[in-house]
Amino acid sequence: MGARRRARECALQLLYMWEFHRHTNDFDTAPFWAENQEDQATRAFAEAIVNGVIESIEDIDNIIKSASLNWRIDRMAIVDRNILRIATWELLKVQDTPLKVVLNEAIELGKKFGSEDSSAFVNGVLDKVGSLVRKEQEAKGEK
């Protein structure tokens, strides 16, 4: 398994944990890393994802809300919303990862960690997120 795929898996698990500690100052990644011995590249990318998502949570969630008209973020399954957050962050911040790769990786996370319907749900929402992000980047003259 590639370092980035494993990093996304670790980031998803860490964000899942964060959901239960987000309103406290009690979120600590050290126990996770003590249990999951990963190479430096995997750990660094996972930490970048987690920190990036947490720092930009409002912007990321607003983009997801715009793409998922009939779904409130707080009503989505925890796994699904965090897969969407990871992918949205990556679309916004990691310029060297193509949209198709981001979509595929998110769908694979949904298959592995989500419910039976997760991959289809994630695919549908991210397709719209991808369009929104591309339009925003084109308007800013990026990509």
| pTM for the whole structure | 0.92
Taking 3-state DSSP, the helix, strand and coil percentages for the chain, each rounded to the nearest 5, stand at 75, 0, 25
Q: What is the DSSP code (8-state) at residue 9?
A: H
Looking at residue 143, its pLDDT comes to 57
Looking at residue 112, its pLDDT comes to 96
Looking at residue 85, its pLDDT comes to 98
- Assigned CATH class of 3-140: mainly alpha
Looking at residue 91, its pLDDT comes to 94
Q: Which residues of the chain have pLDDT under 70?
A: 1, 142-143
Structure tokens at 107: 């769908």
Dump pLDDT digits (tens) for 50-75: 999 999 999 999 999 999 988 899 99
